[in-house]
């Protein structure tokens, strides 16, 4: 292991594709790790398939699934178009995350939802928010350049930032501030003056009756000075200038590193630089994600369980493993209580994430959600049944079912004391209060998913 850690400071080795060998074998733990990061967890069949496919083929399938994702998403777009409330959108998005043949696409859409963090409560239009998240999805694994262009044209974004009437006489600095600072460069790489000048370039754009309109006479035609450049810049010029800054690609690579690889350590300059340079060439998100997922670094101890699951990952990890269909309307509400209200991130900086997800109150909330999902009655009814899942995958005794559930949810070798005690201790609380096998297995599953380890991605 020491050799591995040393090698990680060598960026060439760190980003090279992982190839299993005797020291670093491809096993259930690695497959579980991949599906936690690149998807929302996995069923037993999926894990077994990954085990036999090996890492590269598994990653191929996650990046470019065979199934008709376009058709699947079209159907869900239609469902969403017919809902009249933000609550409806939340429920459909969660359902999409659970059922999609392309979970990585939804995972990245969620990433962008926290990057371009628009709040439905502020936009106050279900239709515009649906379009907005649709835009994020359309380029989630596409081109960051096109995504940024889309964002700068997006009525939801303009309304959220108070830029729906961007007149020459009173340019809106929030929109410019968000695009220059929050969405691209970061605070250390621009000045108030850059933002002020950029805001003049955005004048002339209006949202009228939910549609973007350009009114030429309201555009400021004077010379602007932005990031050391000078000219009669338009909105598109500003975006081009922002994408030419190395700070933009560096910052996005760092942010994605935190999302896909590790949130405990700040990666060094030499680790980030090669990816940032490559990303800046064409802003191809898929290639960047692919490099990260295939890498030695991704499959190293430096990444393993080095992220805290956001509430969505926590809950869907349970649902995916237990192969059930639950009420996502109820789930959306419960996730909001845990701090992740979809379509409504706290500020335009998105969810802070990491340790911020966890405190004694949210742990109590996660614990009680886990119980609620496994109870066999109540708001989630009897949709998730770990005993039936265990039997389906060949377990016939409670003992084998318990070992199966540990592999299904955690994969790794737990501390032997925990492992033994878990198997020996009779858990209390849920499962219709019954002593039958089903109740016992429900309680056991609950004990596993309330282990601290299960909160880590």
Partner 1 sequence: MFCTRRDFLKATLGTSTLLSLTSAAPNFLVRKTMAAAPRHDDRNTILVIVQLSGGNDGLNTVVPYADDEYTRNRPTLHLQPKDVHKIDSYLGFHPRMEAFSRLYKEGHLSILHGVGYPNSDRSHDGAMRTWHTAEPDDPDCQTGWLGRAADSVWHTNRKDTPAVFVGPIVQPFSLMAEHVIVPSIQSPDDLTLDSTPAKFQQDHAADKGNELLRFVQECTTKARVNSRRIEAVTKAAGGAEYPAFRLAGTLRTVAQLIRADVGIRIFFTELGGGGIGGFDNHANQLGNHCALLHQLSESLAAFIHDLKRDKLLDRILVMTISEFGRTVKENGRRGTGHGVAAPIFLAGGKLKSGLIGLHPSLTDLDNGAMKFHTDFRRVYATVLDKWLGFESRIILDRQYEPLDILNV
Q: Which residues in this chain contact partner 1 in the complex, by CB under 8 A?
A: 1-2, 5, 161-162, 174, 263-264, 301, 305-308, 337-339, 346-349, 352, 355-365, 367-368, 371, 415, 417-418, 421-422, 425, 427-430, 443, 446-447, 450-453, 455-456
Name 205's bridge partners: 214
By three-state DSSP, how is residue 167 classified?
A: strand
Question: Closer to partner 1 at the Cβ: 363 or 388?
Answer: 363
Give me the least distance between CB of 108 and partner 1, in Å please.
23
Largest CA distance in the chain: 78
Catalogue the long-range contacts made by 311-314 (C-beta closer than 8 Å, 24 or more residues apart).
Answer: 311/335, 311/338, 311/339, 311/340, 311/357, 311/366, 312/40, 312/94, 312/97, 312/110, 312/340, 312/342, 313/36, 313/40, 313/41, 313/457, 314/338, 314/366, 314/369, 314/454, 314/455
Question: Closer to partner 1 at the Cβ: 227 or 448?
Answer: 448
| Residue 203 and residue 194 in contact, taking contact as beta carbons nearer than 8 Å | no
Question: Closer to partner 1 at the Cβ: 274 or 353?
Answer: 353
Question: Closer to partner 1 at the Cβ: 174 or 330?
Answer: 174
Separation between Cα atoms, residue 139 and residue 117, nearest integer Å? 15
Separation between Cα atoms, residue 243 and residue 295, nearest integer Å? 26
Give me the least distance between CB of 364 and partner 1, in Å please.
5
Question: Closer to partner 1 at the Cβ: 32 or 103?
Answer: 32
Question: Closer to partner 1 at the Cβ: 86 or 280?
Answer: 86
Separation between Cα atoms, residue 42 and residue 28, nearest integer Å? 11
Give me the least distance between CB of 255 and partner 1, in Å please.
16
CA torsion sign for 409, 445, 386, 325 is: negative
Question: Closer to partner 1 at the Cβ: 1 or 70?
Answer: 1
Give me the least distance between CB of 355 and partner 1, in Å please.
6
Give me the least distance between CB of 285 and partner 1, in Å please.
26
Give me the least distance between CB of 271 and partner 1, in Å please.
18
Give me the least distance between CB of 248 and partner 1, in Å please.
22
């Amino acid at each position: 292991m020491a050799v591995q850690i040393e090698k990680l400071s060598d960026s060439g080795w760190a980003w090279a594709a992982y190839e299993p060998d005797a020291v670093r074998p491809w096993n259930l733990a690695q497959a579980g790790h991949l599906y936690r990061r690149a998807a929302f967890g996995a069923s037993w069949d999926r894990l077994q398939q990954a085990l036999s496919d090996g890492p590269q083929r598994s990653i191929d399938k996650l990046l470019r699934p065979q199934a008709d994702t376009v058709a699947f998403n079209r159907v869900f777009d239609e469902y969403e178009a017919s809902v009249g409330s933000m609550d409806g959108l939340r429920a459909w998005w969660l359902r999409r995350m659970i059922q999609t043949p392309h979970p990585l696409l939804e995972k990245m859409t969620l990433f962008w939802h926290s990057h371009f963090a628009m709040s439905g409560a502020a936009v106050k239009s279900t239709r515009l928010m649906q379009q907005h998240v649709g835009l994020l999805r359309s380029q989630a694994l596409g081109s960051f350049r096109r995504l940024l262009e889309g964002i700068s044209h997006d009525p939801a974004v303009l309304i959220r930032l108070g830029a729906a009437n961007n007149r020459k006489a009173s340019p809106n600095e929030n929109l410019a501030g968000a695009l220059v600072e929050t969405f691209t460069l970061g605070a250390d790489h621009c000045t108030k003056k850059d933002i002020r000048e950029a805001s003049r370039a955005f004048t002339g754009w209006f949202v009228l009756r939910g549609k973007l309109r350009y009114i030429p006479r309201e555009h400021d035609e004077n010379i602007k000075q932005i990031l050391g450049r000078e000219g009669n810049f338009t909105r598109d010029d500003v975006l081009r200038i922002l994408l030419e800054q190395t700070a933009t690609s560096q910052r996005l690579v760092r942010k994605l590193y935190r999302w896909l690889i590790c949130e405990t350590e700040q990666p060094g300059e030499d680790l980030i630089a090669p990816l940032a340079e490559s990303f800046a060439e064409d802003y191809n998100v898929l290639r960047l994600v692919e490099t990260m997922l295939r890498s030695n670094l991704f499959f190293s101890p430096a990444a393993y369980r080095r992220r805290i699951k956001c509430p969505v990952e926590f809950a869907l990890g349970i649902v995916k493993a237990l192969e059930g269909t639950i009420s996502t309307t109820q789930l959306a509400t419960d996730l909001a209580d845990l701090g992740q209200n979809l379509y409504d991130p706290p500020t335009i900086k998105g969810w802070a994430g990491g340790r911020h997800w966890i405190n004694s109150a949210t742990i109590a909330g996660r614990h009680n959600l886990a119980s609620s999902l496994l109870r066999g009655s109540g708001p989630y009814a009897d949709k998730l049944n770990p005993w039936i899942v265990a039997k389906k995958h060949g377990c016939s005794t409670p003992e084998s079912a318990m070992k199966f559930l540990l592999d299904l949810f955690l994969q790794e070798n737990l501390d032997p004391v925990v492992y033994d005690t878990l198997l020996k201790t009779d858990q209390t609380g849920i499962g219709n209060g019954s002593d039958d096998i089903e109740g016992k297995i429900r309680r056991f599953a609950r004990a596993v998913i309330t282990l601290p380890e299960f909160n880590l991605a």
